Structure 1
């Protein structure tokens, strides 16, 4: 639920963090970042969870032009820049998710036991999405359906995959809410009455058996503010280059020390509940060992892509495709050469960096110099040559659904003959869903 075009004064900060402020009169600082949160309470009035909301100023308005960018900011600010403990305390956070985001790597920056994925009312359900929900539920995530106003066939089909259902008290026909609530209760769902604005609304929802409540009657969204962590583009690219080369802890530690903002966020990430450590991490070396280079690399990519002021997310699916493209290429490389792990790793890195130059608006050659990529990867990205270049073309053709190009690319070399249409279809599906089974290694 995103309250739009309302300008309530933010509530006072209740989390005791010295660097957080909710003063609406404070001047907007260009080096500050903002995050909205609205309480979700239980029948006794106790705090149950927060809904986390995108904010780009202390004005407490939702000015959203891109759902993906907005959620990227919410996740980056909650997990890294402000920190889970400061934002959520011991409670869960509800985060809005559109269809693309449910298949995106952003999901796996969030510790599943701390977040509920709130599926927007605009999402269309189908077999592929249901499969994705099953995978994410197996990974520990819970789901909520947002802005439900009536019983529909798609709602019935989605119920087995969700834990919470949020009923919009402003938009729903009040005469139909009792039947809607009773039906959902019979299916064992936790009911949230959202947009509760009066005591009468709360009393009615309570009598109908709603479990949780959210709305202006209880609390307006609070705006948290902290100073922006904004690593430079060049520093992030250089760090990605180091990460791509399987660095030792000493080498990675030295490079990270050149990125103090990343270090702060990495320590917060390592100390989050995602890693279930016996004691808090207190040193950079411990954070590296606890988190692992793969998760550090993904976090660095998120920082690179989520900086909306300087490195904006595109409205086209370039950023969203990079993870699945890289995984698709890695899987295809393993099918072609099952015992050649080096080839699979190079294929993955080719996919990852094939889109970075578009996102950061730098020439490919300049990117390659910063990243110190191998000649084979460079040739694949810049010239489309070599086996990696052919794999990149196959990946691009698969994304477009270009069957003639796929036939041409796989038939031009005997080594690609194993990539039959059936195999390619399986690889596409696995590449789109592999993040659901991700664990830090």
Structure 2
């Protein structure tokens, strides 16, 4: 049993499935995460608010990110029903860690309004989702909550300016929800939204004829050479010397806590001797996911999480060649990172055919695991194929978040 698999099996399982979705500023920096969750018992809210272990996991894993080489804790938006908010035993959640999100189907009563005012007075940040300007029940809430989520698809981009104008006297922080592409993001930016949520950063903006440039070329040359069964450490080092800075960064990551080595690796040939070609292939692929100018850190972070989670699920399923699952997950957003269509990208990238098929069609053994990881990320837990027990998906996801954080910290070091 691998160390990773033993760690997964030894990790305490939670009574709830959890994923997170980033909330961005207009500069595309992540300032908070929306928690997506579903309890296996049906008591969704209580599974989180009444369980100290779950709250600790959220704080230590789901709210933690590496930004600029530093580990930071970001607030999480926690969706709660009015029933839980009104409960006399509602726990004192850390105010700096959690923003309390009220759902649109909530029954707005005088008692609830008083309760929300009380929570606001003691320092909780309140969020209102599913706002419908035609429903007067929301009006009293506008003077209490701090953040108002506007579903831009449901409300309509053309109608938003008038809605925003009427909301102005309330001095709310407006969050554009369901922003699906860069054009919608641009329009919302012009309207003055301060927060953004949706998959707009996951959609490539292809530039026809664009080629891979910079150190990514060296990485692809290394990847191509690693496909050669007769390659040698000398042949790989001959390619790597063309970019000494990149080689240094790769060695820094390999030497980091992400790999937990007992002795320092001083050269690529030394790394190959100690780790083997498969592990060098892992780190070369990893650096293909490193941030490009103008691309947010969250994109690289998500690629790392996907790669690691695909690999861990493959291990749990007893699959062979689990490194290929890592590569598929990691490169599944390479088109977004480089703004090159995936089909065109696959013509430039030297990968095994089954990996290319998985990236293009989400089919085959590799593709079906990638697709399940994507489903989990979106919080669509009911749609999981359940290759393993559902609770193991959360454990694998949690491990992947922390692993990605460690790797990003190592990659950011000079």
Q: TM-score range by the shorter chain?
A: 0.3 to 0.5
Q: Which has the higher contact order (CA 8 A, sep 6+)?
A: 2
TM-score (norm 1): 0.40
